[in-house]
Amino acid sequence: MTVATIPAPAFAIERFRLANGLRVVLAPDPGAPVVGVAVVYDVGMRSEPEGRTGFAHLFEHMMFQGSHNVGKAEHMRHVQSAGGTFNGSTHIDYTDYFNLLPSNGLELALFLEADRMRGPAITEENLANQVSVVKEEIRVNVLNRPYGGFPWIKLPPVMFDTFANSHDGYGAFDDLDAATVEDAQSFFDAYYAASNAVLSVAGDFDPVEARALVERHFGNVEARPAPVHPPFEEPDLTAERRHSYVDERATLPALAAAWRVPDPVTDLDAFLPYVVLGELLTDGDASRLVERLIHNDRTATAVAAHTTFMAEPFASRGPTAMLVQAFLPPGTAVDTVLGQVDEELARVAEGVEEAELDRVKARVAAQLLRGDDSVMGRSRRLATAEIFHGDAAMATRFAALLGEVTAASVAQAAAALTPQRRAVLEVVPGGAQ
Residue finishing a domain among 160, 184, 218: 218
Does residue 227 lie within any of the structural domains? no
Nearest to 243 by CA among 319, 317, 164, 153: 153
Which residue type occupies 284? Answer: G
Does residue 11 lie within any of the structural domains? yes
Confidence band of 374 (pLDDT split at 50, 70, 90): confident
Nearest to 324 by CA among 384, 379, 367, 261: 261
Average pLDDT of span 173-200: 96
Confidence band of 372 (pLDDT split at 50, 70, 90): confident
Residue 230 has pLDDT above 90, yes or no: no
Beta bridge partners of 85: 100
Residue 269 has pLDDT above 90, yes or no: yes
| Percent over 70 (pLDDT), the chain | 97
Does residue 230 lie within any of the structural domains? no
Confidence band of 6 (pLDDT split at 50, 70, 90): low
Same domain, yes or no: 211 and 345: no
Average pLDDT of span 3-32: 84
Average per-residue pLDDT in the chain?
94
Confidence band of 431 (pLDDT split at 50, 70, 90): low
Cβ contacts of residue 239 below 8 Å, gap of 6+? 420
Same domain, yes or no: 145 and 249: no
Same domain, yes or no: 70 and 113: yes
Does residue 184 lie within any of the structural domains? yes
Phi and psi (nearest 5°) for 410?
Answer: -65, -40
Residue 433 has pLDDT above 70, yes or no: no
Confidence at residue 8, expressed as pLDDT on a 0 to 100 scale = 62
Residue 258 has pLDDT above 60, yes or no: yes
| CA end-to-end span of the chain | 52
Residue range 306-316, pLDDT digits in tens: 999 988 899 99
Domain count, the chain: 2
CATH label of the domain that carries residue 323: 3.30.830.10
Over 132-178, what HEC string results? Answer: HHHHHHHHHHHHCCCCCCCCCCCCHHHHCCCHHHHCCCCCCHHHHHH
Confidence at residue 252, expressed as pLDDT on a 0 to 100 scale = 96
Does residue 223 lie within any of the structural domains? no
- Residue 197, classed as helix, strand or coil, is strand
DSSP letters spanning 86-97: EEEEE-SS-EEE
Confidence at residue 318, expressed as pLDDT on a 0 to 100 scale = 86
The CA–CA distances, whole Å, from 218 to 70, 107, 121, 385 equal: 15, 11, 18, 21
Same domain, yes or no: 206 and 246: no
Residue 4 has pLDDT above 80, yes or no: no
Average pLDDT of span 24-47: 95
Same domain, yes or no: 195 and 268: no
Same domain, yes or no: 258 and 179: no
Domain assignment of residue 278, given as a range: 241-429
Same domain, yes or no: 197 and 337: no
- Residue 35, classed as helix, strand or coil, is strand
Kindly report the pTM of this predicted structure: 0.95
Average pLDDT of span 46-63: 94
- Of residues 49 and 129, more confidence is placed in 129
Residue 138 has pLDDT above 60, yes or no: yes
Nearest to 50 by CA among 230, 209, 214: 230
Confidence band of 32 (pLDDT split at 50, 70, 90): confident
Residue range 192-214, pLDDT digits in tens: 999 999 999 999 999 999 999 99
- Of residues 106 and 229, more confidence is placed in 106
Same domain, yes or no: 190 and 42: yes
Residue 81 has pLDDT above 70, yes or no: yes
Same domain, yes or no: 260 and 300: yes
Does residue 236 lie within any of the structural domains? no
Confidence band of 9 (pLDDT split at 50, 70, 90): low
Same domain, yes or no: 196 and 272: no
Confidence at residue 5, expressed as pLDDT on a 0 to 100 scale = 59
Beta bridge partners of 304: 325
Confidence band of 417 (pLDDT split at 50, 70, 90): very high
Does residue 232 lie within any of the structural domains? no
Residue finishing a domain among 159, 187, 218: 218
Average pLDDT of span 255-281: 96
The whole-angstrom separation of Cα 206 and Cα 150 is 45
Same domain, yes or no: 283 and 355: yes
Q: How many CB atoms are closer than 10 A to CB 242?
A: 14
Nearest to 38 by CA among 373, 369, 382: 382
Does residue 118 lie within any of the structural domains? yes
Residue finishing a domain among 166, 187, 218: 218
Cβ contacts of residue 319 below 8 Å, gap of 6+? 160, 165, 232, 233, 234, 260, 263
Phi and psi (nearest 5°) for 240?
Answer: -60, 140
Lowest mean pLDDT among 28-32, 96-100, 118-122, 210-214: 28-32
Same domain, yes or no: 32 and 127: yes
Confidence at residue 3, expressed as pLDDT on a 0 to 100 scale = 41
Confidence at residue 47, expressed as pLDDT on a 0 to 100 scale = 93
